[in-house]
Structure 1
């Protein structure tokens, strides 16, 4: 496999890599992002997707996990020092592997009759990634992300999603008012102040889930154009974390459909 050693943090390829890791606008401009860790890289390759380049260290390159990657990837591998890798990495604890890939564009138009998750102004990368992971596990394949939400293809969201992105149709920077009225299936929003229990709903057919901002919840527009449901909490907590609440909803839907 072709390898090149890079030593300077000012090398153009290192600067490009750093820009993709740290700057959302740069990722959008370049149409690229970074997968960190061998798990994400292998998940990407298993979907028959292309890796443009890989950055790693001498120590990591000798690890058996890297053998699986190089068995499928024949492109250029850039070897950098341990200290430079730690400076670039957002993880710090995984086997050194940073892969530059092109951000996929959705190959399909929005489907207004299929199960859909809408993320409305959810800003925490961990919550967004967890919701995508739960949605994928529950069989929801279409994700809509409104303006103001964390970028789906940021390294931190990708890390939290653990490869869920790669089997999903993702649409970003969508205006909620442009799409919500077009759905021809039930639309539900979660609200801790609503008396209609999630468990009283018939979720056997396709539906839309709208989940809102961590602090403020969904918008008034969403509340007015959807049916609000609550998750019973006999323990008396004020509310659930949005990723937990969404996951509960998705798997009640799965339970009813089994």
Structure 2
């Protein structure tokens, strides 16, 4: 284990820049995953971190020590608590940060299975929650259209709670390119004139698209043939949060498939 005490150290300066700026994180070739849960889920998925950075006081934490036992000592760097706070991406954490290589899987030439498309979602919490629901529902490919919040930002990673390690996440996808590859129906939620989701056959593979929190799905997607479903809301609300709507859609599809098998 190496100890670094200077804020002028190149690693510390790089971490400080990344922790303070999502745009810097987007331009980097690695990502920051902070906290016990993210570190544990990454290691459980067979990942090997580029580097592990810990605070001095983190060594007093039992769970942190258990994580460190799974990482080669030459990859671990310890910072004094005050210095670690300067590079941390959370307000109050245990003092454990992993630097991970960012995965950039190629877009498949044809898409014949369930997938999720995020069209201009801006809120990192919503993006992370949808990634988490997609992973839990067994979806493997998520396509982030240009304009969507950076899927590997620290905020999205925390909201995703480890979902990233179970997904193939494709960023900067253009509608024209993706539509040419889709071999499954496109499905979206619509509060006007659509069929209730529980009365719609969702048993086949679908490409679910979820749009911007304010503007919804863009015209590039609406202008092609698509399946429109609505989520009944007897309580009288006009709409649902997009992450909640995505979870309902994905798990209703799963419910129908389980019912069909029975």
2:95 is aligned with 1:96: yes
Deviations, residues 139-193 of structure 1 (Å, cap 9, x unaligned): 1111000111011111111110011010111110000122124312121011223
Q: Aligned-pair distance for 1:110?
A: 5.1
Residues in 1 aligned to 2:75 and 2:165: alpha-carbon distance in whole angstroms: 23
1:1-258 alignment runs, 5 A limit: 2-4=1-3, 6-74=4-72, 75-106=74-105, 109=108, 111-225=110-224, 226-258=226-258
TM-score normalised by L of structure 2: 0.91
Segments of structure 2 that go 5 or more residues without pairing to the other structure are none
TM-score normalised by L of structure 1: 0.93
Aligned partners of 1:128 and 1:152 also within 8 Å: yes
Aligned partners of 1:127 and 1:242 also within 8 Å: yes
Residues in 2 aligned to 1:182 and 1:108: alpha-carbon distance in whole angstroms: 9
Aligned partners of 1:108 and 1:169 also within 8 Å: no
Q: Aligned-pair distance for 1:252?
A: 0.3
Residues in 2 aligned to 1:86 and 1:228: alpha-carbon distance in whole angstroms: 47
Residues in 1 aligned to 2:158 and 2:227: alpha-carbon distance in whole angstroms: 32
Residues in 1 aligned to 2:180 and 2:236: alpha-carbon distance in whole angstroms: 34
Residue aligned with 2:121, SS: coil
Residues in 2 aligned to 1:67 and 1:194: alpha-carbon distance in whole angstroms: 56
Q: What is the CA RMSD across the aligned residues, in angstroms?
A: 1.7
Residues in 2 aligned to 1:256 and 1:104: alpha-carbon distance in whole angstroms: 32
Higher alpha-carbon deviation: 60-69 or 240-249: 60-69
Segments of structure 1 that go 5 or more residues without pairing to the other structure are none
Q: Aligned-pair distance for 1:241?
A: 0.4
Residues in 1 aligned to 2:229 and 2:222: alpha-carbon distance in whole angstroms: 10
Deviations, residues 71-116 of structure 1 (Å, cap 9, x unaligned): 2101332222323333332322331111111101216725410100
